[in-house]
């Protein structure tokens, strides 16, 4: 019996999503760019899905561009904004704890001569708005700040930044991959111009996402070829996965988002209570706050190797992570923990990330806490 507690990496597809995708594969297999009945039928499915997804963030359907996921959306937003607006300035602001699909395009832009300011974070994984205000200048053309962190769950002040940029030339991009499906999102209320998401974080399929781009914000396509996606992204659209993505979003009402947040916060307290009852020494990386992304829980067990703990939990039937799945195969330490606690902190090599999902139960958390307690105690005795 295996228990999955790595939902920040990916989530299992909902049965309703699988059913919708199976129907699409069997019936609506046409190319949505074709003008015959099969193509028109597929195009209608795509249009309906785009409408559903646009409504979920308070956007117009024409402002959504389907992508292969958030990585492509982030790369498109960052690189194409920088290249198309560099006559206005060559300064960009981001944070030290962004996903690699943001940080690596930033590194490329630095090599091209752009100046990038990486805002530091405190030990809660939060940026300072004073630091942001100090960094913003007349040369700033792009700000990219994630909505919620994938390793800590810290919820960054997107609306406050949006207010600050309302009268500024800089375009505002947010990677909302972890927050989408958990937090209510309205692009106008938040003041964002660009927003990236991926379907597989909310019980949808892998390999599909979208980039929201405000209607009057134009730049050349990153993907060159045909004229799909209103000439903004070449390549035949993945209609089956797009339909599954829309179905996954239909399953999550605003009330369901709030209910999940409350349930996940309860799981955090349940684990902490169990560890304290067993007198197991631990600390929370970041904080436990109701307004965080509560599906992510990062714990430090002093003196216990991340690798050893993760491996032993896996052998016991519990899937957790040592950090971002996108860097799990790397020997590099977590850049998020490093930014929060410093490169010399023992937390970097002694922490695990537990992340909950819609199918996680209180019984599973009880069983996990019992096993976690035993493994940590045993590893400390060695």
Name 64's bridge partners: 212
Spatial CA neighbour of 108 closest among 79, 86, 85: 79
Q: Are 316 and 169 in contact (CB under 8 A)?
A: no
| 332-347 burial code (b ≥16 CB/10 A, e <16) | ebbbbbbbbbeeebeb
Spatial CA neighbour of 351 closest among 282, 295, 264: 282
Euclidean distance between CA atoms 164 and 22, whole angstroms = 45
Q: Are 355 and 297 in contact (CB under 8 A)?
A: yes
List, by residue number, the catalytic residues.
326
Torsion of CA 144, 147, 149, 152, to 10 degrees: 140
3-state class (DSSP) for residue 187: helix
Euclidean distance between CA atoms 91 and 118, whole angstroms = 11
């Amino acid at each position: 019996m295996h228990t999955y507690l790595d939902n920040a990496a990916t989530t299992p597809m909902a049965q309703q999503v699988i059913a919708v995708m199976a129907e699409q594969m069997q019936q609506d297999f046409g190319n949505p760019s074709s003008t015959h009945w099969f193509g028109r039928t597929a195009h209608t499915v795509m249009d309906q899905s785009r409408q559903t997804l646009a409504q979920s963030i308070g956007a117009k359907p024409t402002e959504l561009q389907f992508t292969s996921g958030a990585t492509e959306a982030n790369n498109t937003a960052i690189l194409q904004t920088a290249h198309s607006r560099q006559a206005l300035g060559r300064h960009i602001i981001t944070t030290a704890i962004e996903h690699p699909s943001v940080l690596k395009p930033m590194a490329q832009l630095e090599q091209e001569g752009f100046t990038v300011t990486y805002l530091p974070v405190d030990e809660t994984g939060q940026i300072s708005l004073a630091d942001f205000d100090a960094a913003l200048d007349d040369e700033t053309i792009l700000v990219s700040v994630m909505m919620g962190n994938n390793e800590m769950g810290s919820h960054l002040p997107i609306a406050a930044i949006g207010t600050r940029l309302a009268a500024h030339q800089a375009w505002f991009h947010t990677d909302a991959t972890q927050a989408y499906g958990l937090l209510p999102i309205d692009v106008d209320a938040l003041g964002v111009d660009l927003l990236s998401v991926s379907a597989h974080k909310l019980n949808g399929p892998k390999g599909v996402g979208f980039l929201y781009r405000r209607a009057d914000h134009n730049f050349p396509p990153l993907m060159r070829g045909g004229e799909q996606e209103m000439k903004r992204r070449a390549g035949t659209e993945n209609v089956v996965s797009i339909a599954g993505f829309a179905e996954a979003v239909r399953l999550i009402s605003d009330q369901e988002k709030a209910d999940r947040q409350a349930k996940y916060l309860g799981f955090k307290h349940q684990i902490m209570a169990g560890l304290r009852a067993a007198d197991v020494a631990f600390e929370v990386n970041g904080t436990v706050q109701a307004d965080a992304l509560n599906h992510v829980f990062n714990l430090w067990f002093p003196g216990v190797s991340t690798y050893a703990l993760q491996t032993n939990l896996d052998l016991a039937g519990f899937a957790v992570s040592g950090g971002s799945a996108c860097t799990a195969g790397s020997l590099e330490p977590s850049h998020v923990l490093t930014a929060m606690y410093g490169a010399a902190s023992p937390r970097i090599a002694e922490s695990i990330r537990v992340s909950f999902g819609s199918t996680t139960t209180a019984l599973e958390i009880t069983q996990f806490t019992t096993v976690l307690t035993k493994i940590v105690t045993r590893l400390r005795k060695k």
